[in-house]
Every structure is written in structure tokens, then in C-alpha cells.
């Protein structure tokens, strides 16, 4: 897989209280991924970019919320999340600053 395609598959790591608990308890990390990305694409991208061993990938489509803005209804964009489980003893530093 080309380096350009790797960067298109993984968009951004999602950091929240829930994902922090998943990192501590189950060694899982959460990334926002492209809508067209498959589980195998995500697995290859994580393994090549971070040099880790991925044991499982779960992909979830999150629908955008309906919101009102100045008496007009609208909808926020949906996203696709990937929950990535790593092998024991491995980790990813998702908060690292360049």
C-alpha cells in the first residue's frame, strides 16, 4: 500500500475519556477512517505507519445528528470509526506532538 493511501485511510485519532479507558483496559485505540476504508485497509495502515501488530479491527459507521440552527434544520456529517486492538505489550503514542 502506498504511503499516500495510508494517510488517506487513517484520518485522525479520536481522543476522549472513553477511548482513554479503552487504551488502559483493553489496549484498543480509536481512529477516524475514510468512508471507503475496509478492515484490511485499516489493519495494513496501522501496522505500516506505527510498526505494531494488530490483532483485531472493528469498524463502526456513526450517523450525523440532526440539529437546529436559527430555526433551520440541518444535519451534521457522519463519520466512520475503527477500534483497533493491539498485541500485548505494544502501544501507540496518539498524543505525540511533532
List pLDDT tens digits, range 36-58: 999 999 999 999 999 999 999 99
Alpha-carbon distance 63 to 35, whole Å? 12
Q: How confident is the model at residue 25 (pLDDT cuts 50, 70, 90)?
A: very high
Work out the number of other CB atoms within 10 angstroms of the CB of residue 84.
28
The residue among 98 and 6 whose pLDDT is bigger is 6
Does 98 have pLDDT greater than 60? Answer: no
Alpha-carbon distance 29 to 21, whole Å? 10
**pTM exceeding 0.75:** yes
The residue among 15 and 4 whose pLDDT is bigger is 15
Which structural domains are found in the chain, ordered by start? 3-86 (3.30.70.330)
* Cα–Cα nearest to 28, from 44, 12, 14: 14
The average pLDDT across 50-68 equals 95
Name the percent of the chain lying above pLDDT 70: 97
Which residues make beta-bridge pairs with 66?
Answer: 75
Amino acid at each position: 500500500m502506498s504511503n499516500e493511501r495510508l494517510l488517506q485511510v487513517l484520518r485522525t485519532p479520536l481522543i476522549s475519556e472513553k477511548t482513554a479507558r479503552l487504551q488502559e483496559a483493553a489496549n484498543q485505540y480509536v481512529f477516524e477512517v475514510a468512508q471507503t476504508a475496509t478492515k484490511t485497509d485499516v489493519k495494513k495502515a496501522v501496522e505500516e505507519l506505527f510498526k505494531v501488530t494488530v490483532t483485531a479491527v472493528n469498524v463502526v459507521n456513526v450517523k450525523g445528528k440532526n440539529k437546529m440552527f436559527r430555526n433551520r434544520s440541518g444535519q451534521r456529517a457522519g463519520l466512520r470509526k475503527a477500534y483497533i486492538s493491539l498485541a500485548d505489550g505494544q502501544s501507540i503514542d496518539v498524543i505525540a506532538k511533532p
